[in-house]
Amino acid sequence: LTGTSREQRAFQYVLAHAIPGDPHHILQTFDQWCYHCEHLSCVGPDKGRIVERVLLERAPLRVLELGTYCGYGTVLLAQGLPPGARLYTIEGDPRHAAVAEKVIRLAGFSEETVELIVGPSEEVIPHLREKHGLMNANFVFMDHWKRCYLRDLRLLESHQLLAEGATILADNVLFPGAPHFLQYAKTCGKYHCKVHRASLEY
């Protein structure tokens, strides 16, 4: 009825209630909206703790996120980056990217720390090195269309965009599920696999 999207409504709530420049409070405000108003398919606090823990363990300097959506996962990743690290995040939907851009900057992250790239992942990934200066990624967070997980992992491999010992963290591989990605990761011999059990967001 308002003519605004669910994502825009969530951002208006965050803008009205969150503390600018405080990433943790911005995520908490998103959580409040999602618990009490409308569901968004953000990572959420439960799975967010897994992301934070793995990020802390790895301390990567070059992070790639596939699927920015509203910027929730981006802010979560950015606040856990070690000094001097850079995050590249790819979003295929320009409307979602417009919201995410505002969320990321509201959280206090500059373009030097977080670069938001708008376009389909299969078109962006082959040009990450020459267009965006990403030589390779130490850490990849996949949270876009599940059917694209395997295709994009193979694209990252074929363009040598995965650093040696890189960590790939993929959300929702069991439900809604990314069975082909999971089978490849477990059987191709290139990766050590671990499934983190978690509840669905919100």
- 172 in active site: yes
- 143 in active site: yes
Alpha-carbon distances, residue 50 vs 33, 73, 142, 171, 186 (angstroms): 21, 12, 14, 10, 20
- 31 in active site: no
- 190 in active site: no
- 152 in active site: no
Task: Point out the catalytic residue in the list 172, 186, 190, 194.
Answer: 172
Contact in structure between 168 and 88 (CB atoms under 8 Å): no
Q: How far apart are CA 16 and CA 61, in angstroms?
A: 33
Task: Point out the catalytic residue in the list 7, 65, 143, 152.
Answer: 143
Per-residue DSSP letter, 125: G
Task: Point out the catalytic residue in the list 7, 91, 101, 171.
Answer: 171
Residue 98's SS3 state is helix
Task: Point out the catalytic residue in the list 111, 146, 157, 164.
Answer: 146
**Residues found in the chain:** 202
Residue 85's SS3 state is coil
CA angle 47, 52, 54 (to 5 degrees): 95
Q: Which residues are catalytic?
A: 143, 146, 171-172, 201
